């Protein structure tokens, strides 16, 4: 049973579909992209960020595994380097022990293709992929999750993650219908804002159709304030968040006193049966740029925009300490150690000394698997 790892192409559509059907039949919730051309950031000439798909093919016919790569220009300690996010690997090893080692083989293949490799979004050590990465000497850096409850009643009644047992559902319903939950959550966010010495923000956000010269000027002004950051010039951002294309991200230019101080990418999504958010109307701040000292202003403006859209909660994944502080200054609960930034040994060398560089590391959802990967 010879396995070859090949680029996804049109000839493999039916084999990928058959792979997905076997995975579903085996009880796995994973499936892969049947279309070989990525819907989000497909490869284009001259583009410095794109996605590509690869397949593990057995005996030239059956797809047994797959993964996606997203190479992108990063600025690390003042130098441009191509750093790559990976998604997956997905293999039949989760349903068939004959392919139990295929995941490891695919990770090794990724490293050959793109040594400066990372993934952002893993949970705790109970996940097999996390255990495997630790054994391969990957660095696993924990990062926080930021949450603001805008409508406590709907949050208590409709979220899925906290309502997984009858006892919890009863307790949350009691808090919702008595009003005690509303008071508790509003007091929590007020207390968090006061503790972080927030308030007084005056920045405003306006929707824009794309990123123009103003975004390039902002990038030039901000880039030296970060130790490690994916390039966020206008060309890169227009590739990541193109007008009129998937995903439906809203681009916000943020100004204070008539001056552009930053931007944010946001989404407001009506969830339906999502395993964490249930049926909530979720606002998400999926990418940002500003001087770290002005993070609170950008978060304030983006949050106000989402509140006007009627969202129930606002969430964001962040890594930079000053951006986490900016969310806290706006009353967000900044929950530590909720997402792991998994860094290959070669990327660790590029990010050395990581203890120092991590204090200037800017990561958002757009640096990972995309805006919906919350």
Domain range for 265 is 145-338+347-366
> What pLDDT digit, counting tens, does each position of 158-212 carry?
999 999 999 999 999 999 999 999 999 999 999 999 999 988 999 999 999 999 9
Q: Which two tokens stand for residue 232?
A: 């966020």
260 and 189 part of one domain: yes
* Half-sphere exposure (Cβ direction) of 2: Cα atoms closer than 13 Å: 5
Determine the distance from the C-alpha atom of residue 250 to the mean position of all C-alpha atoms in its chain, rounded to a whole number: 16
* Angle, CA of 110, 359 and 340, to the nearest 5°: 40
Asked, for residue 77, whether it belongs to a domain, the answer is yes
* Residue 135 domain flag: no
Q: What pTM does this model have?
A: 0.93
pLDDT in tens, 40-88: 999 999 899 999 999 999 999 999 999 999 999 999 999 999 999 999 8
- Domain membership of residue 28 (yes or no) is yes
Query: Is the separation of the CB atoms in 283 and 311 below 8 Å?
Result: yes
DSSP for 216-279, please give it. HHHHHHHGGG-SEEE--SHHHHHHHS-TTSSS-PEEEEEEETTEEEEEEEEEEEE-SSBTTTBT
Is 99 in the same domain as 41?
yes
Residue 307, domain member (yes or no): yes
CATH code of the domain in which 27 resides:
3.40.630
Average pLDDT over residues 212-220: 98
In the chain, the number of structural domains is 2
Mean pLDDT of 286-313: 98
- The answer to whether residues 277 and 208 touch, using CB atoms and an 8 Å cutoff, is no
Cis peptide before 89 (omega within 30 of 0): yes
Place of tokens 């990561």: 363
Do both 178 and 49 map to the same domain? no
Phi and psi of 305, rounded to 5°?
Answer: -60, -45
79 and 153 in a single domain? The answer is: no
pLDDT tens for 127-170 read 778 888 889 999 999 999 999 999 999 999 999 999 999 999 99
Asked whether residue 101 is assigned to any structural domain, the reply reads yes
């Amino acid at each position: 049973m010879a396995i070859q790892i090949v680029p996804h192409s049109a000839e493999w559509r039916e084999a990928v579909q058959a792979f997905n059907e076997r995975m579903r039949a085996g009880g796995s919730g994973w499936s892969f992209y049947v279309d070989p051309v990525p819907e989000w950031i497909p490869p284009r000439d001259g583009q410095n960020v794109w996605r590509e798909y690869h397949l593990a093919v057995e005996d030239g016919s059956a797809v047994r595994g797959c993964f996606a790569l997203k190479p992108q220009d990063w600025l690390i300690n003042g130098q441009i380097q191509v750093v790559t996010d990976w998604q997956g690997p997905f293999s039949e090893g989760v349903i068939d022990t004959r392919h139990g080692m295929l995941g490891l083989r695919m990770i090794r293949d990724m490293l050959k293709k793109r040594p400066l490799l990372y993934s952002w979004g893993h949970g705790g050590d109970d996940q097999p992929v996390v255990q495997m990465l630790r054994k391969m000497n990957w660095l696993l850096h924990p990062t926080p999750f930021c949450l603001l409850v805008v409508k406590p009643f709907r949050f208590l009644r409709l979220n899925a993650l906290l309502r997984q047992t009858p006892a919890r559902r009863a307790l949350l319903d009691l808090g919702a219908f008595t009003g005690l939950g509303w008071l508790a959550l509003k007091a929590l966010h007020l207390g968090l804002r006061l503790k972080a010495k927030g308030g007084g923000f005056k920045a405003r956000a306006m929707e824009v159709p794309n990123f123009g010269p103003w975004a390039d000027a902002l990038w030039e002004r901000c880039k030296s304030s970060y130790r490690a950051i994916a390039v966020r010039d206008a060309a890169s951002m227009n590739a990541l968040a193109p007008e009129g294309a998937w995903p439906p991200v809203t681009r916000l230019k943020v100004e204070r006193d008539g001056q552009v101080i930053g931007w944010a990418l946001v989404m407001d999504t009506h969830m339906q049966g999502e395993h964490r958010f249930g049926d909530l109307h979720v606002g998400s701040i999926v990418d940002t740029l500003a001087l770290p000292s002005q993070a609170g202003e950008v978060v304030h403006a983006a949050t106000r925009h989402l509140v006007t859209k009627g969202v129930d909660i606002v969430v964001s994944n962040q890594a930079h300490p000053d951006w986490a502080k900016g969310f806290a200054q706006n009353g967000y609960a900044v929950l530590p150690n909720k997402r792991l930034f998994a860094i290959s040994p070669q990327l660790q060398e590029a990010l050395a000394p990581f203890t120092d560089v991590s204090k200037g590391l800017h990561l958002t959802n757009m640096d990972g698997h995309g805006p919906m990967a919350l």
